[in-house]
Structure 1
Amino acid sequence: MKNIVLIGMPGAGKSTIGVVLAKILGYQFIDSDLLIQRQEGKVLHELIEEHGIEGFLSIEEQVNRDIHVTHSVIATGGSVVYREPAMESLGKEGVIVYIQLSYENIKARVGDLDKRGVVIHNGCTLLDLYKERCPLYEKYADVTVNVDSMTIEGAIAKVRTAVQEALEGEV
């Protein structure tokens, strides 16, 4: 089976869903934000401060392009969709699943954007970011799974079913 690549807004639950889904499927779990931090030796918000947004996006693109695994659930950073080469590479190796959540739910979950290491231009709000990114998530997704008002267990089951249906359609 191909990899499962989770994309979506910060706070959508990509890592939480990814860890449990990997356990259920017997897959490896990879968090690309953690790969970036390990490679660079700094946390995300420090990298954004040090390299600026474009510099950070270049690092993120390189790390995601360099992920070559099988039987893995990969949780990506929310900004991965800004770089097409990264998305093309991830798409060749897996089914891309957009974990979709309403703006209201994202806002309730996210907390401090700066400490979280979110790529956001000065003066932009979370709503601006949401409106900018959602069309990109939709563009790259093979499967979109809306998890509004769902428990974590319900979200995981819905993602698993959607991925299985997508893979059956490829055969």
Structure 2
Amino acid sequence: MRELLSWMLGGLMVVAPAAFAADKSLSVKESILLDAPAEVVWAKIGHFGDMSWHPALASTEIVSGADDKPGAQRVLTLKDGGKIHETLTVRDAKKMTLSYKITESVLPVSEYSATLSVKPEGSGSRVLWTSQFKRKAPGDDKAAVDTITGVFQSGLGQLKSSLH
């Protein structure tokens, strides 16, 4: 009996670290300096119901609530047909910041929340996009981080191109 208990406890010690690894929070932070005033940049990216500035998206649709009001829900349709459902959690036009969470997605992430903000910097502005999330069940942390990094970099790169 003692050997059986010892073997079972030993097995738990192996399983426990793996279980904790699946629950590890991941994050991505990207920023870009733009040659446009913060107000101009915010006018382009600060509306929850309009992500037309992102090159991966075919459309953005508010499906519940009022655009730019916390609780509003949108569906992003990717150019390949995939869908991402998001809810606006905070929008502060004076501080030029908005936060949202993904509620359903084709992306390899779960428990995703992000903030997009614009700050004046010199004669231009800086856009900062940050997120925290977990990877979806068994998978690769690197794949989840690489996916979100790609989403952020392509969006910010397109934003820079569109403002010049």
Same fold (TM over 0.5): no
Q: Normalized against structure 1, the TM-score is what?
A: 0.25
Which structure has the larger Rg? Answer: 2
More strand by share: 2
More helix by share: 1
